[in-house]
Amino acid sequence: MKERKLNKTWLIVGAIILAVIVLYFIYRTYKPEINLLLDFNAHNKAKLLHMIRSHGFTDIFLLIALIGILNAIPGMSNSVVCIFAGLCYGPVVGFLINWVGNILGNSTVMSIIRKINLSKRVKKNKILHYLLQQKHPLIALTIGFMIPVIPSVLVNYAGARLNVSRKHYLAMVTVGMAPTSFLYAFGGDAIFKGNIRRLIGVAIAILILIGCYLLVRKIWQNHEEKAATK
């Protein structure tokens, strides 16, 4: 009997609605802090820190949930929320919030991706082709998670196509999502502290990740061209 596929459009619509609901609760919960941030100065810095740190785990869970949901929606970015987490909670706790949210979001996608009919455009994507053709796919997929410009849905679909075990997948997504999760949290903390040098360092680090992706893609393209001429 043919396995029934999930409707991709309805899943995305449902995820967007859920993201809006969670965003509303986050806005309502953090509204006083957001107002202070919009009118931020040295005088209200201590007050803002006290207000943020008075929030419990439930409020932190809202941020984790929103990061995970946005991570799971194709074409959506959770970078602003990740930066907000770092801005509010500092580089360590902010990193943990981002990291857990990104891991949960990717794991959710991976758990249902085999039950979704993806478009031909996704299945013929060059990045997906490169990921599937690597001699060391686990390393390639881990790097894929690290680079912000590579859609996570492609990395997850490649993992599903390669039948990556749950243990290896968790290892890949845990390692792969760590750098950007930390960079966004570190960047948010730098914004809060007004540390321009840190912000420049974060920007350079992200550009290096993107540069690595462009370099690897160029190497893959040259390899393909040589293989085609043989």
Sorted by where each begins, the domain ranges of the chain are: 8-229
**CA dist., res. 33 & res. 28, Å (int):** 10
Most confident by average pLDDT, 23-32, 33-42, 49-58: 23-32
Most confident by average pLDDT, 49-53, 79-83, 101-105, 192-196: 101-105
Q: pTM of the prediction? A: 0.84
**CA dist., res. 133 & res. 131, Å (int):** 6
Under a CB-based contact definition with an 8 Å cutoff, are residues 180 and 208 in contact?
no
Tell whether the model's pLDDT for residue 47 goes beyond 70. yes
Band of the pLDDT at 100, cuts 50, 70, 90? very high
Q: What b/e sequence results for 86-102 when a residue is b if at least 16 CB atoms lie within 10 Å of its CB, and e otherwise?
A: bbbbbbebbbbbbbbbb
pLDDT at 1: 45
pLDDT at 44: 74
Neighbours of 142 (CB within 10 A): 20
- Per-residue tokens: 40: 């931020």
Under a CB-based contact definition with an 8 Å cutoff, are residues 102 and 67 in contact?
yes
Tell whether the model's pLDDT for residue 105 goes beyond 90. yes
**CA dist., res. 131 & res. 220, Å (int):** 10
